[in-house]
Amino acid sequence: MGIKFGPSGISQSFYDEGHKSSAEMPEWLHKMGLEAYEYSFSRGVKISEKLALQLKENAEKFNITITIHAPYYINLAAAEEEKIKNSKRYIIESLTAGNLMGAKRVTFHPGSASLDRREALDRAKRVLKEVIKEADDLGLGHITLCPETMGKKNQLGTLEEVLELCQLDERLLPTVDFAHLHARDNGRFKSIEDYEEVLNTIEKYLGKDRAKVIHVHFSRIEFTEQGEKRHWTLLDKEYGPEFEPLAQLFYERNMEPIVICESRERMAEDALELKRIYQEVAKRVSKT
């Protein structure tokens, strides 16, 4: 597979250049030198069959890997049955649309931890099992589900919680959002060893083969005592984390993640910069 880089959503520059339809994104990204595109259903799964099929065709033509971010308001740990039912529906709808789009992965937020954390995680595990079964029954089991690490302390989504969810089925992979982990742990990533600890933990839970191909979100982030406040760009150097130490580990460990950049407004440009950093690190390390 090889490591791949791409944006979450559409950069402002795409529209500034006169483009209008997301169906044009695969060619635009390919010309930039990127390999992935995360289509966001942040506020609901709204895409026509025609556009979905156009995206699939163009992604295949320009060798762009499509992934999806399911709606933000999924909560597999909700106490209310109606919210659970809706959350399951949002994931299935994302998988159904993803199937038309040729998507390889669907990222989703696990939910709230307003209950006791153990109780919340156990409920999320039970509901996720039901989602996996329903997806299999509908012939959608070939698309990888990727629960995401979350940035706020009151959310379900520590690294260990996400990895425990991923132990339910060997097809599951974590979306490791390094900005979120940085924010919820009040500036976690200060050295290469801090990143190494995360990658070692993933390997311990899931084994080397699955750890090698994790889904990754990366950007700079602002945070408070409660965790995530706002995503920023790579140009906003007053905020962390830094990508270079992580890039070095990806190269040294021969990892092949899909790295999705969530920078504000310039996510494609910053995805390209992440790729440049990775290539520079690879060149330097290979000479030593």
Which pLDDT score, from 0 to 100, does residue 43 have?
A: 86
CB 145 within 8 A of CB 109: no
pLDDT tens digits, residue range 151-192? 999 999 999 999 999 999 999 999 999 999 999 999 999 999
Which pair of structure tokens corresponds to residue 256? 């092949």
Q: Please give the domain boundaries of the chain with CATH numbers for all domains.
A: 4-286 (3.20.20.150)
Which pLDDT score, from 0 to 100, does residue 1 have?
A: 62
Per-residue pLDDT averaged across 80-109, rounded? 97
Which pLDDT score, from 0 to 100, does residue 42 have?
A: 87
How many whole angstroms separate alpha carbon 25 and alpha carbon 258? 17
Crossing angle between the packed helical segments 159-166 and 192-206, to the nearest 10 degrees: 20
Per-residue pLDDT averaged across 81-88, rounded? 96
Q: What is the mean pLDDT of the chain?
A: 96
pLDDT tens digits, residue range 184-207? 999 999 999 999 999 999 999 999
pLDDT tens digits, residue range 215-226? 999 999 999 999
E strands, the chain, are 4-7, 36-40, 65-69, 105-108, 111-112, 144-147, 155-156, 175-177, 215-218, 220-224, 227-232, 258-261
pLDDT tens digits, residue range 243-254? 999 999 999 999
How many whole angstroms separate alpha carbon 95 and alpha carbon 40? 12
pLDDT band of residue 145 (cuts 50, 70, 90) is very high
pLDDT band of residue 288 (cuts 50, 70, 90) is confident
Per-residue pLDDT averaged across 95-122, rounded? 93
CB 25 within 8 A of CB 38: no
